[in-house]
Amino acid sequence: MKRFLVRSIIVSVSLFFIGWIVYSQVVPQYYHIIFPFIIIFFFLTTNIVHFYLLKIADKSMPKFSARFMVLSTLKMFFYLVIGIGYIVISNVNVKAFLINFLAAYVIYTIIEVAEISHVVKVKK
């Protein structure tokens, strides 16, 4: 968990820095106050889910694949509900929100899958 936590902190700080540069220098008209909260949201949910997946991997590797798929599907639907809920509630800069939300989803999912793959290889 420590390795994943360090990597996700590095990615989160990098995303904050890249966002700060892009939104202050390149496209300031598209900055939305929700941007930092998107990164914090994905950081927290990804780390919580990863912690739970590590607990599952420690208990039973044969059950891990099924639980991983179920948990990934539930997480994806949760993200979908959050995204749609925000769009319904707020009509401000929806395109910028969607781009930031989807980019964060892809980045954190790649990190999580890479780390889980590493854990599964080590456990076998």
Residue range 58-90, pLDDT digits in tens: 777 777 888 888 988 999 999 999 999 998 998
pLDDT digits (tens, 9 = 90+) for 22-43: 888 888 887 778 889 999 999 9
Give the percent of the chain with pLDDT over 90.
42
Asked whether the beta carbons of 77 and 11 are under 8 A apart, the reply is: no
Q: Buried b vs exposed e over 10-32: b needs ≥16 C-beta within 10 Å?
A: ebbeebeeebeeebeeeeeeebb
Kindly list the domain boundaries of the chain, sorted by start residue. 2-123
